[in-house]
Amino acid sequence: MIEVEHLNVHFGSNHVVRDVSFRVAAGETFGLVGESGSGKSTVLRTIAGLNAGWDGRMAVAGQALGPRRDRAFFQRVQMVFQDPYGSLHPRQTVDRILAEPLEVHGIPDAESRITRALEEVALPRTARFRYPHQLSGGQRQRVAIARALIADPSVLLLDEPTSALDVSVQAEVLNLLSDLREARQLTCILVSHNLAVVAHLCERLAVMQGGRIVEILSEAELRAGQARHSHTQDLIALSHELEG
């Protein structure tokens, strides 16, 4: 479904992503793990078309991606951002935020779609006409997820969707994402620095360091402790330390 080959990203003279290649099959959830600054979010934003200055080859559903994305691309690919406090327009109600993608894509029946989208992410009806500042962090992230899904995309890009939330809310949002992925047969790329989160949701994952992918392994291999690269082993040891 998603193919990335020899992707390089430059920010000015900074070479932040170096020769990254991976493939994600339809319906699969693929994890990108690494420390802060390893380039994992940059890869995701580049696929989403939010970064210029890249070379290499990327394709989604067999269609190569150019420097500019068309509207059809944005109907197929959507993204959930890390910080739910920053990703919702502060002057728009939930209703307005959810109506925007429908208006842009000319999708009819906005009323019932918005009601359904709120139900799907388990937000109460009363939240519909509230402003983001009247919602909790978890509720905001649910709104962001509802916005991403309202135009029925087949690919969902998740940029650390839970790291800005309380631990208790994290599990709820992760379970919601995992249920939605099942129900809608979504292909996902999940970026996280948390190995436990990635292991929970992903079938395969790539470990990034300094802008390169150092290792791609399956979730089973990760659990069995079959990581080969020393950086992966470090990350595993670190996550055990934090949990224990």
Residue with smaller CB distance to another protein, 47 or 217: 47
How far apart are alpha carbons 171 and 128 in whole angstroms?
Answer: 23
Near another protein by CB under 8 A: residue from 3, 100, 172, 221: 100
Of residues 109 through 138, those in contact with another protein by CB under 8 A are: 126-127, 129-131, 134
How far apart are alpha carbons 190 and 181 in whole angstroms?
Answer: 12
Q: Examine residue 10 and tell whether it contacts another protein (CB under 8 A).
A: no
Half-sphere exposure of 50 (CA within 13 A, CB side): 13
CB 187 within 8 A of CB 1: yes
Q: Examine residue 101 and tell whether it contacts another protein (CB under 8 A).
A: yes
Cross-strand bridge partners of residue 215? 207
Residue with smaller CB distance to another protein, 95 or 221: 95
Near another protein by CB under 8 A: residue from 15, 105, 184, 229: 105
Degrees to nearest 5, angle at CA 233 with 218 and 46? 60
Residue type at 140?
R
Of residues 23 through 82, those in contact with another protein by CB under 8 A are: 45, 48-50, 69-71, 73-75, 78-79, 81-82
Q: Examine residue 87 and tell whether it contacts another protein (CB under 8 A).
A: yes
Of residues 174 through 233, those in contact with another protein by CB under 8 A are: none
Degrees to nearest 5, angle at CA 48 with 43 and 54? 55
Q: How is residue 155 written in tokens?
A: 């690919």
Binding footprint of another protein on the chain (CB under 8 A): 45, 48-50, 69-71, 73-75, 78-79, 81-83, 86-91, 93, 95-96, 100-101, 104-105, 126-127, 129-131, 134, 144, 147, 151
